[in-house]
């Protein structure tokens, strides 16, 4: 495996897990740069006015980073671990944009997406919205303070809807509602074992711990 994606809803712990794996498996970490996005805080304050601008800026940033990091991926024997994948743009756009905006957005997305490599394994960390809210509150980011469970629920449903439609790469859904891979080594080992010691076909596989 050369290209592993660790994804999840806001507050699922995807970046934390991706960093842990990259350190323990001597892998190259590819982390999403979002904190400096000038439209993020504006979007959370006024979603309707800034949704399209935010999603377009994220799409441009994600493509630029992934293209730079992964363009020579087939030449590497080492592992690259990313805490997001480009299709994340489509997931969130489907939640935040109006129908007309989404149709226009998807045209740009399809053109760009065709140029990027596909992951060898896509891992999705699933948590229920109430647990995501607790994680979000714990990390205390100012621009996330207005996120509601209803929004997180829409995002989760958008992810699952996409998974059912795609068949280009294996999707491993890990239900992490009752595990703590940060503070419990056994839980972390279970997750790593699920990722690295099993083979998955294209499509969806779900594991509940």
3-state secondary structure of 199: coil
Query: Phi, psi (5° rounding) for residue 74?
Result: -70, -10
- Tokens representing 181 are 């891979």
Task: Judge whether 120 counts as a catalytic residue.
Answer: no
Strands 121-126, 203-208: pairing is unpaired
User: Cβ contacts of residue 93 below 8 Å, gap of 6+?
Assistant: 55, 59, 101, 102, 105, 106, 109
Nearest alpha carbon to residue 122 among 66, 178, 83, 68? 83
Q: What is the DSSP letter of 20?
A: H
Q: What is the DSSP letter of 22?
A: H
Residue of 83, 99, 100, 153 marked active site: 83
- Tokens representing 136 are 């979000």
Q: Helices in the chain by DSSP H: which ranges?
A: 14-24, 40-45, 47-70, 88-96, 99-113, 129-139, 149-165, 185-196
Residues annotated as catalytic (active site), given as ranges:
83
């Amino acid at each position: 495996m050369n290209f592993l994606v660790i994804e999840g809803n806001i507050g699922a712990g995807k970046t934390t897990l991706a960093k842990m794996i990259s350190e323990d498996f001597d892998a190259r970490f590819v982390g999403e740069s979002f904190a400096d996005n000038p439209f993020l805080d504006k979007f959370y304050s006024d979603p309707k006015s800034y949704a399209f601008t935010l999603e377009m800026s994220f799409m441009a940033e994600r493509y630029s980073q992934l293209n730079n990091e992964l363009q020579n991926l087939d030449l590497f024997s080492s592992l690259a671990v990313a805490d997001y994948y480009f299709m994340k743009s489509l997931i969130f756009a489907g939640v935040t944009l109006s129908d007309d905006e989404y149709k226009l957005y998807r045209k740009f997305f399809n053109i760009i997406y065709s140029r990027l490599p596909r992951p060898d394994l896509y891992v999705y960390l699933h948590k229920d919205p109430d647990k995501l809210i607790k994680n979000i509150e714990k990390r205390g980011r100012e621009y996330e303070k207005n996120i509601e469970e209803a929004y997180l629920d829409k995002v989760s449903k958008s992810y699952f809807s996409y998974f059912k439609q795609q068949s280009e790469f294996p999707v491993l859904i890990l239900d992490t509602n009752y595990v703590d891979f940060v503070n419990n080594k056994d839980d972390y080992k279970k997750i790593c074992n699920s990722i690295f010691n099993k083979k998955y076909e294209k499509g969806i596989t779900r594991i509940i711990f």
